[in-house]
């Protein structure tokens, strides 16, 4: 728990479990995340192993967790493939990941060797990630090298700079300044799985903060959710059935593609692609049983010229 009393994001752990469950099994050659499992605690790996083996556990509560991880794996595959490919096509010297959670890109994307990465996240979530990274490094290196493990797993990126900010009350620009981000150089911004958890005003304020640090040849890759009665009903049902993962992190803003494009246009960013996860899943040949959540999630890429 952080000083503000907020606990680390549990949805970030769920996404990481989805990534680990899909690693090496979904769309070979386009999706891989061997780092994700290393960031999970032993108990969090159990449902991942069950999903990978296709062996649902007995008992209603364990089964709910299993289904959550299975469904999440289905969502993260098209999302990750689309975002990784958009990033590879737009490598700059600076990548800022907003609401990074347990994002593994700085540890797994070879294309980032000449890129400095800023991981911006809520202090509680970031503290949790850093502890997980240190433990993962220790597991790889062994207890005798514990002093080196404190630095975390070795990264692919040129550097990773942890930048704690609460988007609801903090100043993203000031935090990035303090962490050495250069506002006069092109930046690739990534905002995945975070927008629904922010109010419309917090989303606008964050875009405005990015705008102040965005020069030409920069890009923003944003994943967001559109309004969907069926998706809202599904979330409510999951909560009623007792999944506590999403209950502490309610959705606060949903955006139609035109609204997101208009918001970004206000700040000089032109959307060059915006697809549903369902369309992306079809493109890469990924299973799409959970059609509703795949239909309401989108990945948009916007460029600044």
Taking a C-beta distance cutoff of 8 angstroms, is the pair 217, 187 a contact?
no
62 vs 168, which CB is nearer to ligand SAM?
A: 168
Give contact residues for ligand SAM (rule: CB under 6 A). 9, 11-12, 15, 99-103, 121-122, 125, 165-168, 192-194, 197
* Beta bridge mates, 225: 297
Cα separations (Å) of 290 from 1, 238, 278?
Answer: 33, 14, 9
Residue nearest to ligand SAM (CB): 101
227 vs 250, which CB is nearer to ligand SAM?
A: 250
Cα separations (Å) of 135 from 15, 20, 93?
Answer: 19, 17, 29
56 vs 228, which CB is nearer to ligand SAM?
A: 228
| 176 half-sphere exposure, CB direction, 13 A CA radius | 27
15 vs 263, which CB is nearer to ligand SAM?
A: 15
Residue 173 CB, shortest distance to ligand SAM, in Å, is: 14
Residue 184 CB, shortest distance to ligand SAM, in Å, is: 25
Residue 193 CB, shortest distance to ligand SAM, in Å, is: 3
Residue 72, phi then psi, degrees to nearest 5: -65, -40
Cα–Cα distance, 85 to 21 (Å, whole number) = 20
Residue 86 CB, shortest distance to ligand SAM, in Å, is: 14
7 vs 185, which CB is nearer to ligand SAM?
A: 7
Cα–Cα distance, 232 to 293 (Å, whole number) = 9
Residue 63 CB, shortest distance to ligand SAM, in Å, is: 22
């Amino acid at each position: 728990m952080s000083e503000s009393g907020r606990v680390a994001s549990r949805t970030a752990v769920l996404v990481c479990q989805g990534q680990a469950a899909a690693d090496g099994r979904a769309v070979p050659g386009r999706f891989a995340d061997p780092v994700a499992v290393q960031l999970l605690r032993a108990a969090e790996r159990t449902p991942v192993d069950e999903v990978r083996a296709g062996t649902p556990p007995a008992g209603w509560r364990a089964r709910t967790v299993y289904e959550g991880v299975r469904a999440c794996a289905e969502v993260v595959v098209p999302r990750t493939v689309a975002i990784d490919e958009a990033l590879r096509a737009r490598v700059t010297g600076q990548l800022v990941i907003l609401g990074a959670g347990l994002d593994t890109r700085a540890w797994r994307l070879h294309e980032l060797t000449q890129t400095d990465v800023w991981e911006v996240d809520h202090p509680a979530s970031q503290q949790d990630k850093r502890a997980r990274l240190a433990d993962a490094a220790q597991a790889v290196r062994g207890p005798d090298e514990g002093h080196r493990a404190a630095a975390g797993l070795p990264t692919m990126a040129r550097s990773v700079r942890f930048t704690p900010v609460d988007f609801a009350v903090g100043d993203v620009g000031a935090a990035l300044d303090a962490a050495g981000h250069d506002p006069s150089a092109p930046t690739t911004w990534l905002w995945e799985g975070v927008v629904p958890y922010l109010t419309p005003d917090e989303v606008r304020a964050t875009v405005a903060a990015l705008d102040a640090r965005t020069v030409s040849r920069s890009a923003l890759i944003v994943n967001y959710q559109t309004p969907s009665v069926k998706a809202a009903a599904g979330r409510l049902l999951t909560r009623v059935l007792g999944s506590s993962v999403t209950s502490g992190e309610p959705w606060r803003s949903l955006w139609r593609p035109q609204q997101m494009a208009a918001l970004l246009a206000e700040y000089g960013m032109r959307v060059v692609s915006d697809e549903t996860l369902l369309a992306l899943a079809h493109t890469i040949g990924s299973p799409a049983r959970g059609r509703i959540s795949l239909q309401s999630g989108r990945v948009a890429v916007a460029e600044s010229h």
